Amino acid sequence: MEHPTVSTETEAAIAEATRLVDEAENISVLTGAGISTDSGIPDFRGPQGLWTKDPAAEKASNIQHYVSDPDVRKVNWERRAAGELWTDVEANDGHRALVQLEHREKLHTLVTQNVDELHQRAGSSPGKIVEIHGTTRKAMCLECEWRDEIEVVLDRVRAGDPDPTCEMCGGLLKSATVSFGQSLDAMDLRRAQAAAVECDLLLAVGTTLAVYPINETVPIAKQTGAKIVILNGEETAMDSLADVVIKAGISRTLPRIVRSDLA
């Protein structure tokens, strides 16, 4: 397989990251929006980001606006039902590469900031994944513990219910994501911290590492003796802590680092 031409410095960084993966026994992975852009999902705040181009979409991601404004909910559900929020996208080679870490019995935990479930679609075991910001492919009630596939709710929207409520308790429904103003799940946070403490290599992929508190996994892993590899298209807030920093395309570079050729 031929690879696009990259600098000698980048090739050296890729080789060193590959060596660290080969030597590691317990690898924890943290992924962000950058791993999914090659699947056609834009990031949020980049030049072509979802919220940059559509501020109304960012408003729907604030729990106060969502709860208090029926129009925000109606527009959000209408867009989801119409397929405008990338429900039909598929995993790319970057997602699939991480499955190889499981095949090599090296993956400790895969913590993702993404809400697209593309890691599961690629073949990663759900039990290995921590969706720290939830998922758009499930729906939940804000009042009771009801939760199901989001298509169950979208079918109601398509049938003429513009602002569906919970059939169990009458509460408001939303995608099972963590909106601004909502707390992260305590169990997910504990699992993410354990992943940082117990790994001997932390691989951060496609994230600028600027979002607290999940970005704290990097210094936690560093303090407990783990090696740090960062793969991203641009600089991150934690580059100074990394043993290896690679600025390159993720879907073509990650398979080389985890040696997908061994599959």
Q: How far apart are the C-alpha atoms of 203 and 229, rounded to whole Å?
A: 5
Q: How far apart are the C-alpha atoms of 204 and 246, rounded to whole Å?
A: 10
Look up residue 158 and give its two tokens.
């398509």
Catalytic annotation present for 103: no
Longest dimension (CA), the chain: 61
Omega of the bond leading into 219 within 30 degrees of 0 (cis): no
Number of H helices, E strands in the chain: 11, 9
Look up residue 48 and give its two tokens.
């072509």
Given 95, 108, 119, 133, the catalytic residue: 133
Q: How far apart are the C-alpha atoms of 12 and 244, rounded to whole Å?
A: 10
Cite the active site residues: 133
